[in-house]
Amino acid sequence: MIATILRRGLYNPSTLCRNVVATRNLHVHEYISMDLMNKHNIVTPKSYVASSPDEVENIFSSKMNTPGEPIKSVTLKAQVLSGGRGLGKFQNGFQGGVHMVNTGEEAKDYASKMLGQQLITKQAINGILCNKVLLMETLDIEKEMYLSILMDRHSGGPVIVGSPCGGTSIEDVAKTNPELIFKEEIDVTVGITKSICDRMARKIGIDPETHTFSKATKLFTNLYDMFRDCDCSQVEINPLVQTPSGNILVCDAKVNFDDNAQFRQKDIFSKRDISQEDSREVDASNYDLNYIGLDGTIGCMVNGAGLAMSTMDMIKLKGGSPANFLDVGGGATEQQVEKAFEILNGDSHVKTILVNIFGGIMKCDIIASGIIKAAESVNLKKPLVIRLEGTNAVEARKLIAGSGIGVTIASDLEDAAVKAVSFV
């Protein structure tokens, strides 16, 4: 969320992190984040995860409550990889992905309306499947705060960001009260220091004369240790709460991990839930293709991230809209090209396909062979526009010309974009 603020320019970059860009990082469910925090001595409310209404009822009655004692209410939270769950709506009409329940029967009833249903949120407008729910003890809360640690390109290392305004959208805080968002840069060679923790605790509203202050600074230290040791790219806590007794707990957390550290964090990456991801992106990743789905109608296949961005920009300039970012890389094989075509051809939103290849390491004739095989194997019916330049481009054009597949050859990128848009 805080990274979104930075990317969208909702906060003054001179006083917060600058030049933060979107990255493709592993995101795990809340219950996994909570378990990871507990392992790093970060205090969270008591909680249990469940996969069925009967299991929810049993946990409410036997684990969250003690028979014979007054019943305690429990917070029931849909486990989907999206923010804004509380304000979301399930496709069956049930409102809200976060509820307070007061009896086992109520917990079971609510869970039956959540599990197996698509939750629509402002971040997942097409809905995202809820397979699990988290039962969390309900706390008396005196104060809600915001805290996150993330990597910052400007400072060349991690920063800790905090605000006394927790429990609400941090984007809204950035719009209305940017002066209430604070950051401290962390020297990665030194780590988080006591002075950094002390300053941040004061800035988010914790009284330094209370025992809560030392608990908060200890939590900050443990959180940074987790961030470093687990190769996190972002840890976001909203809210971080203070109870009337002075305890500090993490009540909700979003944790992302650097994909480049997968070889080091095998246990964490084994918890990836592909049911929460775009099936096209999952399919592409299995073939080492860099794919991100968008909402346009022109499918793009390009080699190189910079060329892909330029291609999408040109499509927009010519009145079209890209349906995806798809970079086959500099060393793509025929098999990868075929898979790329299969993904584009199977996307119902794609009305035409634009291939823009500049051959360097990637030879154009290899791309052409993959295109021909793909067009035949997937029975391609959609208009296809191709621009090929660079290594073996002449040979590639000859291959395509003699293949018999329907294709429109473009002379340059601008010509390719114009022709692609004309088919939509």
Question: What single string gives the DSSP state of each residue in 131-180?
Answer: --EEEEE----SEEEEEEEEEETTTTEEEEEEES--SS-HHHHHHH-GGG
| C-alpha to C-alpha distance for 137 and 127, rounded to whole angstroms | 27
User: Could you give the C-alpha distances from 123 to 87, 212, 254, 348, 358, in angstroms and in order?
Assistant: 11, 34, 14, 22, 35
Residues 6+ apart with CB under 8 A from 369: 334, 337, 399
For residue 48, the cross-strand partners are: 135
| C-alpha to C-alpha distance for 3 and 66, rounded to whole angstroms | 42
| C-alpha to C-alpha distance for 339 and 374, rounded to whole angstroms | 8
Per the listing, tokens 């040979």 go with 395
SS3 category, 387: strand
Nearest C-alpha neighbor of 33 from the set 22, 49, 17 = 49
Per the listing, tokens 């961005």 go with 309
Nearest C-alpha neighbor of 161 from the set 173, 172, 171, 150 = 150
Structure tokens at 167: 């429990």
- Residues serving a catalytic function are 146, 236
Phi, psi of 252 (to 5 degrees): -160, 140
Nearest C-alpha neighbor of 250 from the set 26, 33, 5, 77 = 33
| C-alpha to C-alpha distance for 209 and 319, rounded to whole angstroms | 61
Sign, CA torsion 387/388/389/394:
negative
Q: In terms of residues, how long is the chain?
A: 424
How far, rounded to the nearest angstrom, does the alpha carbon of residue 162 sit from its chain's CA centroid? Answer: 21
- CB of 59 within 8 A of CB of 103? no
Structure tokens at 177: 């009260």
* Burial bucket for residue 194 (CB in 10 Å: 0-12, 13-18, 19+): exposed
Kind of pairing between the strands at 352-359 and 157-163: unpaired
